[in-house]
Structure 1
Amino acid sequence: MPTPPDFARPGHLGNLTPEQALKLQQTWIHLLRLCNLPSSVPHRTPNLTPSLQPQLADPSPASVWRLLWNLFLHDHPDVTLLRFLRARKWDVPSALSTLLSVLNWRRALRLDDVLIRQGDSLPSSDQGGFLAQYRSGKAYVRGSDRQARPVFVIKVALHDPKAQTEEAMEMFILHSIETIRTMMRFPEQETSCLVFDLSGFGMRNMDFHVVRFLVQVFEARYPEYLGVLLVHNAPFVFGGIWRMIKPWLDPVIVSKINFTTGNADLARFIAPENLQTCYGGSDAWEYRYIEHVEGENARMQSEKKDEMHAERNGLIQQFELLTVEWASFDPDSVEGRRKAAERDDLAKQLGDSFWKLDPYVRARTYYHRAGVIDNGVIDFKAAK
């Protein structure tokens, strides 16, 4: 039986039980209290704010609000919160604790202020190493799998652990994940497909630091973003490495790993029209990095940025107030469903406002230059 798409699975937006919807409401109320927006439903949601605030490096409402809404990007905000609730088995305090840990981590790394805002121009002790990862062609997004998820191909044989610093690899991984996040549009895509192509792999390519880092970020920093991981054409030598790596992995991650051998095996997960010819498909495209174009980020200095911020912030304020109203009703009641529908409509407007603001706050990437990301239109097989 074919695997259902992400949005059709239990626990996803549009497919929640009344109890799950109630836990989503409770999560929102806790977060809005941290953002200093008073709730009118204290009888339904015990106030955890005092216990949550010490977990924040900067518990000021303005800081929490900014980090939280930067995390949501263009998605329906509920989609992001549901990732954390599913990852923590619907335990609201645990989900909130994990979410706040992620906000602290993003703040400490200055992901929004440095990595995303400067992209290819990333000021780093190893800027060349960071850019070298993109230029190498060792990892890129191309096409989508049979569940419409973006496919991120990693050609491990092109990786030399000694050719760049650990910092450069970590920044490249995070920048790639953050970019892929902008390609994932609810309801079509909530997760991604990773292909670890081990064709030509040897021990010279093995990088345990990268493996540990990937495990950490997908388990603790980007929960529920990985849909399937395909380990393709693993050579005999990888068997011993796999026995070492497997104990590091959460069982949920392990359940998403599939080993494929040969092109026909890979085609079970990715249709031939979305597979490059090197994998037996009909897509003749080959990766070529497109260099930074002078002036492509000029809008980040434009005064119009304030206008775009103001428009989005106005919609956010409406969404937050409507969320408080929604959370005051039983989610399965007539009024609760009506308020949920109003929130869904407003979430679409928020998504549109993100794309209007995006060129003013996010540096352009290879995927913008190639036409994969074009003002909110995502084409996983752009021709460039």
Structure 2
Amino acid sequence: MAAQMPPGRPGNLTPEQEEKLKEMWAQTLDIFGVSRDEANSGIATPSSKRSESPDVKKKKSRLSMFRKKDKSGTAGEEDHNNMNGATTTSSTENDKHGQTKAYREALASHTPDELRDAFWSMTKHDHPDALLLRFLRARKWDVQAAMVMMISTGHWRVAEMHVDDDIMVKGEEQAWRDSRGGATGGAKKEGEDFMAQLRMGKSFFHGVDREGRPCCYVRVRLHRGGEQTEASLERFTVYLIETGRMMLRPPIDTATIVFDMTDFSMANMDYTPVKFMIKCFEANYPESLGSVLVYKAPWIFNAIWKVIRGWLDPVVASKVHFASNVEELQEWIPRGQIMKELGGDEEYEYSYIEPVEGENQQMLDTSRRDELLEERKGLVKYFENETVAWTQGEEADGRMRLAQRLTENYWQLDPYVRARSLYDRQGVLGPGGKLEIYPKKEKAETGTDDVD
């Protein structure tokens, strides 16, 4: 039976949730400098307002979301009394990862155009509504708290991790080149560390669970503290999460992580990358975890788990389950889809496929890339116009069609902005966004080569 769209997603919102989404879109476009008057006149991009100085434009667009509105809906004279805090009580309570500070830094250091670009870069193949809804659900439908979380995430992606302009665009091939002598010093070490983790299969995606969610397996016994630098561990973590995003298709919008604790010892325990992973999922990839399965944890892990559980948000902690044997693991993953190394029946064994010379050749075609980016820019403008109308109570059926066109545009753009990965070489990720979770398995089982 096909999976149904979970609640709180595009196409499955209560009237109250839809109003919250409209409110968040209004604030989002406001902070990006996309005003109602601009949209109604067909001018949707902040950069088009050449008559205003950058300082005036930044101040107006960034502060307007905190202004009190009068009965006519226009900004009143009491505007930014809350800017020193710039958050609601709810967002402050949810600020264990320092997102309020990051939010303020984002507003202080980025123009409206840059904030807007960061958002649309983060969207990728997702429905834009789906992205906002992740933050709303994570912040229990508190719009301003969700705004703080979303803007700070964009800042983290652009200014701290350089997700799209470094990690994903360079990908495995650049690390492969650096490790083979294409770089020196720290860059060579990071390339070697990155490739070592891929080759050993410390963590990798394979198959799906009973809910159809992609499974990421972490073989904890393969980690030794100090073998890889902290920077390379963080880069690998973000790379894996972002690559996993490429495997999500509605209504599936979360993944399952299986921590294989087979042969675990204290030599494998390293709290620093654990803390970074927690921060990623709680602060920067909200509502992305379907479940976390801890498999065959030895008794010495009990004390460690008490520490880790104390760091987790209660919602995230509730998704953590323990399985001591394959019979228990079957509650979440069918036995036929559990690898033999975990006690299941599946023949799959992880084996890394090395990058192929020239596999990212399309990235050199910058004219085609720019053509697709220009097309995307136009689609974004139309989507923003439709969204402004929608937030004002008008019918905006075109939003859904435009969201689909943005998805199609992304998959055309993908080979020009994302370096090929193991999962592209395996055939899991195909051209145009085609997804084959079990490409080799399905071919062998159905014997498609022999079918007339």
TM-score of the two chains, using structure 1 as the length reference: 0.91
Alpha-carbon distance in structure 1 between the residues aligned to 2:197 and 2:167 = 15
Map 1:209-220 onto structure 2 (within 5 A).
209-220=272-283
Selected match of 1:356 from 393, 401, 412: 412
**1:89 alignment partner in structure 2:** 140
Alpha-carbon distance in structure 2 between the residues aligned to 1:264 and 1:279 = 11
Residues 1:21 and 2:18 are matched in the alignment: yes
Unaligned runs of 5+ in 2: 41-68, 87-102, 179-186, 442-452
Q: Match of 2:126, as an amino acid?
A: D
Alpha-carbon distance in structure 1 between the residues aligned to 2:345 and 2:305 = 31
Report Cα offsets for 1:65-120 as digits up to 9, x if no partner: 21001111101111111010011111111100011111111111221111011011
Alpha-carbon distance in structure 2 between the residues aligned to 1:38 and 1:68 = 17
SS in 2 for 1:286: coil
Selected match of 1:32 from 4, 29, 47: 29
**2:359 alignment partner in structure 1:** 296
**2:400 alignment partner in structure 1:** 344
Alpha-carbon distance, 1:324 to partner: 0.8
Change (3 A) 1:293 1:44: farther
**2:247 alignment partner in structure 1:** 183
Q: Match of 1:117, as an amino acid?
A: V
Alpha-carbon distance in structure 2 between the residues aligned to 1:80 and 1:298 = 30
Report Cα offsets for 1:165-218 as digits up to 9, x if no partner: 11111110000001001111122x110000001011111111111111111111
**1:115 alignment partner in structure 2:** 167
Alpha-carbon distance in structure 2 between the residues aligned to 1:378 and 1:175 = 19
Residues 1:383 and 2:440 are matched in the alignment: yes
Alpha-carbon distance, 1:34 to partner: 2.2
Alpha-carbon distance, 1:54 to partner: 4.6
**2:96 alignment partner in structure 1:** none
Change (3 A) 1:27 1:147: same
Selected match of 1:102 from 153, 171, 180: 153
Q: Match of 1:105, as an amino acid?
A: W
SS in 1 for 2:217: strand
Alpha-carbon distance, 1:278 to partner: 2.3
Change (3 A) 1:45 1:261: farther
Alpha-carbon distance in structure 2 between the residues aligned to 1:252 and 1:299 = 42
Aligned 8 A contact 1:146 1:269 in 2:
yes
Q: Which runs of 4+ in 1 moved over 6 A?
A: 45-50
SS in 2 for 1:293: coil
**1:332 alignment partner in structure 2:** none
**Greater CA drift, 251-260 or 296-305:** 296-305
Alpha-carbon distance, 1:7 to partner: 2.7
SS in 2 for 1:285: coil
Map 1:169-248 onto structure 2 (within 5 A).
169-187=233-251, 189-248=252-311
Alpha-carbon distance in structure 1 between the residues aligned to 2:124 and 2:135 = 16
Selected match of 1:62 from 113, 123, 127: 113
Report Cα offsets for 1:278-324 as digits up to 9, x if no partner: 23433211111111111111111102111111222221111111111
Alpha-carbon distance in structure 1 between the residues aligned to 2:209 and 2:79 = 41
Aligned 8 A contact 1:229 1:258 in 2:
yes
**Greater CA drift, 357-366 or 114-123:** 114-123
The alignment of Structure 1 onto Structure 2 pairs a total of residues equal to 372
Aligned 8 A contact 1:230 1:257 in 2:
yes
Report Cα offsets for 1:122-163 as digits up to 9, x if no partner: 463521111111111111111111111100011111111221
Aligned 8 A contact 2:23 2:143 in 1:
yes
SS in 2 for 1:8: coil
Residues 1:365 and 2:425 are matched in the alignment: no
Alpha-carbon distance, 1:5 to partner: 5.7
Aligned 8 A contact 1:33 1:49 in 2:
no
**Greater CA drift, 224-233 or 157-166:** 157-166
Change (3 A) 1:184 1:94: same
Aligned 8 A contact 1:29 1:45 in 2:
no
**Greater CA drift, 56-65 or 216-225:** 56-65
Q: Match of 2:261, as an amino acid?
A: L
Alpha-carbon distance in structure 2 between the residues aligned to 1:88 and 1:67 = 21
Larger radius of gyration: 2
Aligned 8 A contact 2:234 2:276 in 1:
yes
Change (3 A) 1:251 1:44: farther
Q: Match of 1:171, as an amino acid?
A: R
Q: Match of 2:33, as an amino acid?
A: N
